[in-house]
Amino acid sequence: MTPGLSAGARPPCAGTVREGITASLALVPSVFVYGTVFGGLAVQSGLTMAQVLGMSVLVFAGASQFVAVPMLATGAPAVAIIVTTYVVNMRHYLMAATLAPSFRGFRRAWLALIAHVINDESFAIAVARSRPPDAWIYLGSALAICGAFTGGVVVGVSVGGLVERPERYGLDFAFPAVFLALVAVQLRRRADWLVAVGAAVVAVALALVLPGNWHIVVTGLVVSAVAAWVLPLDDVDPRDARAA
């Protein structure tokens, strides 16, 4: 019997998986706290513990989950939340395309499962280690990041319900604060500033006229598409895929 994971690929290498886990340890505390903050704020916003955990396991994409919670709480239409989730997570296409060739020879059932744990941190670690990225390093890292995030969410939902009147502590502001921090660390080139500032202006204008939070999706797609069309193709390194 061949071991389940690989059929024809080089054999699974426990040492390499361990290397992926070790390489991720530096990120584990912040991913854990990120999960804790998400779990706490989501429970505060009125989701049940089961809903918060369910979302974290089934969606497993922190930034889009942060996006969805205030939208759920303020009564945005279901379709608007789902489409916004899709747009926030579109960066996965880039990561999936970059990782895919390293996973040739894996069984399709495993590929379908591994696809679900594609995440910014593990992608960054695997790509920083080697080009093309190593499949087993990536898997080790994904294991560590999944564990850290889910563990953080479990702690967060347990603790989050204890705080009364969260707006008194400015906790509702944590949502825009997380988004702004994620933007600030991505601004490297002049073009990045143009896109971010342009999107901010367009979004505020649209938010004043469009109902149901549609300004987020419309701005995100249109401003990025226009920019990608007109900007020079200076540097589109796949490492830049890591984002939110």
139 binds other proteins (CB under 8 A): no
CB 226 within 8 A of CB 199: no
C-alpha–C-alpha distance, residues 30 and 142, integer Å: 15
Q: Which CB, 143 or 227, lies closer to other proteins?
A: 227
Residue 80: strand, helix, or coil: helix
Asked whether position 162 contacts other proteins by CB under 8 A, the answer is: no
Q: Is 155 in the site for other proteins (CB under 8 A)?
A: no
| Six token digits for residue 30 | 């912040």
Contact 5, 14 (CB under 8 A): no
Residue 120 structure tokens: 């910014």
Between 143 and 200, name the residue whose CB sits nearer to other proteins: 200
Q: What character string, x for contact with other proteins (CB under 8 A) and - otherwise, covers 34-63?
A: x--x--------xxx--x--xx--xxxx-x
Q: Which of 72, 143, 154, 155 binds other proteins (CB under 8 A)?
A: 72
Among 25, 86, 128, 159, binds other proteins (CB under 8 A): 86
Q: Does 100 bind other proteins (CB under 8 A)?
A: yes
Pick out residues in 179-238 that bind other proteins (CB under 8 A): 179-187, 192, 195-200, 202-204, 207-208, 215-217, 219-221, 223-225, 227-229, 231, 233, 236, 238
- 217 and 90 Cβ atoms separated by less than 8 Å: no
Q: Does 83 bind other proteins (CB under 8 A)?
A: yes
101 lies in the site for other proteins, by CB under 8 A: yes
Report if residue 9 touches other proteins, rule: CB under 8 A: no
Amino acid present at 229 = W
Regarding 64 and contact with other proteins (CB under 8 A), the answer is yes
CA distances from 44 to 48, 75, 142, 178, 242 (A): 9, 15, 28, 16, 29
Q: Distance (Å, rounded) from C-alpha 242 to C-alpha 3?
A: 32
Judged by CB, which is closer to other proteins: 107, or 129? 107
Q: Which is nearer to other proteins, 18 or 182 (CB)?
A: 182
Return d(Cα 136, Cα 140) in angstroms, integer. 6
Q: Tell me how far apart the alpha carbons of residues 181 and 5 are, in angstroms, rounded to a whole number.
A: 38
**CB-nearer residue toward other proteins: 14 or 240:** 240
